[in-house]
Amino acid sequence: MGIFQHPVMEGAREGRPVDLKAAEPLVEDIIQSVSRNAGALIGFAKLRAYDLYTYTHSLNVSLLAVAFGKYLGLDTVALRQIGLAGLFHDLGKALIPDFILNCPGRLTPEEFSVMKRHPVLGRDVLPGGGRIPDMVLEGMLQHHEKFNGTGYPAGLKGDAISEAGRIIAVVDVYDALTSKRPYKNAMLPNKALSILYSMAGEEFYPGYVEHFIKCIGIYPVGQIVRLNTGQVGVVSATDPAVPLRPEVIVVRDPLGRPAPPRLIRLADVISVSVTETLEAAHAGIDAARVLQDGAAS
């Protein structure tokens, strides 16, 4: 099921109003899950199947936005609204022609002009009458606005961009970079964070990328890493106080052979450290299964 066939979204292409009430239980589940274990949920967002991109991307952005909003201190009402903004941020893409939406190469100026309409198109298919909270609308409309004023659809600049717009902008780009598409491979999370950091203060509102990095960790849950011992494992937990020293479930010995899963808390073992990150496909490790099965400490 793609996002445009999802019961919450299916009316968009047909011009019917979207039922936000139907989405609220999903966002409530996301909030409750994040409250229980934010790090694990953020990691599992990237361990989903890589097909159904737009649907899973919207769910991921909602989850990441709630986790980031919680880290920033948003209250429960605001978390519900930022979760809805994330879920619906790309709703307008339902009205963008498929040949533009799924184009593997660079869009022509004319095609890009059409693509830039999707935030407004998404706003227009929502029910009117003042029933949509401002935070939801701001997140949808402003997630492509840039701090330096070069974004779209309104070319907002600086403080004119709302908090919702700032939050959704960061998590939207992060999830896009770390997702696999038919025309590109998924980028390793630490590489994606490096790119986000290079855009901080120019495209993203100052401070938000730095806070996001602290929120999810330099080595997010689910990241496969090699240690200085030669062992290979999966990051199972992170601590913002020591972002370079996560907890790792080791599943390969120094010679690359499968080993009984064993948890190492790098914060407690100073002699052991992460030396590099690895792609799941190349490492041949099912990170989701490792995290599900856990390990003895």
For the residues of 159-206, what is the DSSP string, one character each? GGS-HHHHHHHHHHHHHHHTS-BTTBPPPPHHHHHHHHHHHBTTTB-T
- Indicate the DSSP class of residue 4: G
pLDDT over 90, % of the chain: 50
Cα(16)–Cα(278) distance, integer angstroms: 45
Check: CB of residue 180 under 8 Å from CB of residue 171: no
pLDDT digits (tens, 9 = 90+) for 207-231: 999 999 988 888 888 889 999 999 9
N- to C-terminal Cα distance for the chain? 39
Out of 126-135, 233-242, 273-282, least confident range: 126-135
Q: Which two tokens stand for residue 24?
A: 């609220």
Between residues 292 and 1, which one has the greater pLDDT?
A: 292
pLDDT reading at 13 higher than 80: no
Tokens 């200085």 belong to: 228
pLDDT reading at 196 higher than 60: yes
- Length of the chain counted residue by residue: 297
Check: CB of residue 84 under 8 Å from CB of residue 9: no
Report, as an integer, the average pLDDT of 182-200. Answer: 87
Q: What are phi and psi of 287, to 5 degrees?
A: -60, -40
Q: What are phi and psi of 22, to 5 degrees?
A: -70, -20
**Residue 211: its pLDDT value, please?**
94
pLDDT digits (tens, 9 = 90+) for 79-115: 999 998 998 899 888 888 888 988 888 899 999 999 9
Taking the CA atoms of 171, 161, 102 and 2 in sequence, report the sign of the dihedral they define.
Answer: positive
Cα(122)–Cα(217) distance, integer angstroms: 32
pLDDT over 70, % of the chain: 82
Check: CB of residue 142 under 8 Å from CB of residue 135: no
Residues paired with residue 247 on neighbouring β-strands, in sequence order: 237, 265
Q: What are phi and psi of 116, to 5 degrees?
A: -65, -10
pLDDT digits (tens, 9 = 90+) for 243-276: 889 999 999 999 999 999 999 999 999 999 999 9
